[in-house]
């Protein structure tokens, strides 16, 4: 009976003890809506740092991804203009060439046809010249017709143009044997970045290009800028570029062209950046991160650690007393690793919690 009597008393004592300690736990934070007061005995106080909000000069930077490309005028794929067999190659991959330098020589059965075209064009010019001089003489002696003289002159000029074209084609050949050879030359100066030439191979007139020449001292970087941000970018604006391959390399360029068209799927606009590439480290096909400078302005900027997340909203803790803080919803703008621009929700002079927010309790 004594044991049964003591058991209820023990339960009563434990229950009373819990009721005494429970208020102490609740008193570590006093919560009223979005307002939180931290009690003096709460160790969280030692982990909190605050800072006064100020306006700062803020650089408006717009970032986008891009791809490195060759400049079209600095890139050429070379194919054989005639069917024939390659008898000699003059280049290797990595070799520098000048415009007009020989690339490969081809034995072209079409040489006799080109010779005939030139011979026919030469005869046509001679006949046209005779007719033109005859019409001049007739008009001079008053028995010719001015209209026929003008027609003869036009015909003569046309035939001379045809002869010039035929001569240029013939000059590209080197007469060797009965078939002749054709020298394929570089259309631009640059570096041989691809070559599939094999001596002895037969190339058809419609064969794929066998040599690629590129001048890579300058390259284009193609990026896309959101429609809402394109107003901050102008032709000639400086940009900075980063590539993963060379993270420490400083690369600068300029906006070369802004497209007139908007991509309807992404609501973005194509922007071409031109960069110097003297060391040839930027390779066509590489991905790049582009940062466009859009000027500076006064703005409220806070440390990234001061910005907290709750659902789809972001907020900061505003100091409203010695140990009191109120949750304030804010709308952030551009974000970097250490700083956040605040578009609305804070004013210069506000004191915000910049460290310790993760220890604060949830509020409504």
pLDDT digits (tens, 9 = 90+) for 287-328: 999 998 876 778 898 998 899 998 889 999 999 998 999 999
Report which listed range, 139-148, 294-303, 333-342, is most confident: 139-148
Residue 97 lies in a domain: yes
Same domain, 275 and 344: no
Number of structural domains in the chain: 4
Same domain, 293 and 220: yes
Same domain, 198 and 245: no
Same domain, 291 and 316: no
- The CATH number for 275's domain is 2.40.30.170
- The domain in which residue 39 lies consists of 28-56+298-359
Same domain, 227 and 260: yes
Same domain, 104 and 185: yes
Same domain, 276 and 221: yes
Q: What is the pLDDT of residue 168?
A: 79
CB distance 44 to 195 below 8 Å: no
Residue 132 lies in a domain: yes
pTM above 0.75, yes or no: no
Residue 179's pLDDT band, with cuts at 50, 70 and 90, is low
Neighbours of 22 (CB within 10 A): 10
- The CATH number for 143's domain is 1.10.287
Residue 8 lies in a domain: no
User: Residue 210 burial (CB < 10 Å; 0-12/13-18/19+)?
Assistant: buried
Same domain, 34 and 143: no
- The CATH number for 201's domain is 2.40.50.100
Same domain, 183 and 104: yes
φ, ψ of residue 209 to 5 degrees: the values are -55, 145
Residue pLDDT, tens place only, 10-32: 444 444 444 444 444 446 888 88
């Amino acid at each position: 009976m004594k044991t049964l009597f003591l058991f209820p008393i023990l339960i009563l004592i434990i229950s009373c003890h819990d009721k005494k300690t429970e208020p102490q736990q609740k008193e570590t934070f006093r919560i009223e809506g979005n307002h939180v007061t931290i009690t003096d005995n709460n160790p969280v106080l030692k982990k909190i740092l605050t800072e006064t909000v100020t306006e700062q000069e803020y650089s408006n930077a717009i970032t986008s991804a891009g791809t490195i490309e060759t400049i079209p005028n600095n890139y050429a794929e070379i194919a054989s203009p005639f069917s024939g067999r390659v008898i000699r190659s003059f280049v290797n991959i990595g070799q520098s060439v000048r415009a007009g330098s020989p690339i490969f020589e081809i034995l072209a059965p079409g040489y006799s046809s080109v010779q005939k075209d030139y011979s026919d064009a030469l005869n046509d010019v001679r006949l046209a010249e005779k007719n033109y001089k005859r019409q001049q003489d007739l008009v001079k002696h008053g028995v010719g017709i001015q209209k026929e003289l003008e027609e003869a002159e036009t015909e003569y000029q046309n035939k001379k143009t045809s002869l010039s074209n035929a001569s240029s084609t013939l000059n590209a050949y080197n007469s060797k044997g009965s078939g002749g050879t054709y020298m394929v030359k570089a259309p631009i100066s640059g570096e041989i970045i691809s070559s599939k030439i094999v001596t002895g191979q037969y190339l058809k007139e419609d064969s794929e290009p066998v040599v690629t020449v590129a001048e890579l001292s300058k390259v284009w970087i193609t990026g896309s800028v959101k429609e809402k941000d394109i107003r901050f970018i102008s032709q000639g604006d400086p940009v900075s570029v980063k590539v993963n391959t060379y993270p420490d390399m400083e690369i600068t360029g300029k906006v070369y062209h802004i497209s007139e068209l908007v991509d309807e799927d992404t609501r973005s606009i194509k922007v071409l950046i031109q960069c110097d590439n003297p060391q040839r480290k930027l390779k066509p096909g590489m991905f790049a991160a582009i940062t466009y400078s859009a000027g500076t302005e006064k703005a409220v900027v806070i440390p990234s650690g001061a910005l907290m997340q709750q659902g789809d909203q972001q907020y900061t803790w505003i100091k409203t007393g010695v140990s009191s803080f109120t949750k304030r919803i804010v709308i952030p703008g551009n974000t970097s690793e250490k700083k956040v621009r605040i578009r609305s929700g804070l004013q210069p002079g506000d004191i915000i919690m910049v460290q310790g927010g993760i220890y604060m309790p949830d509020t409504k």
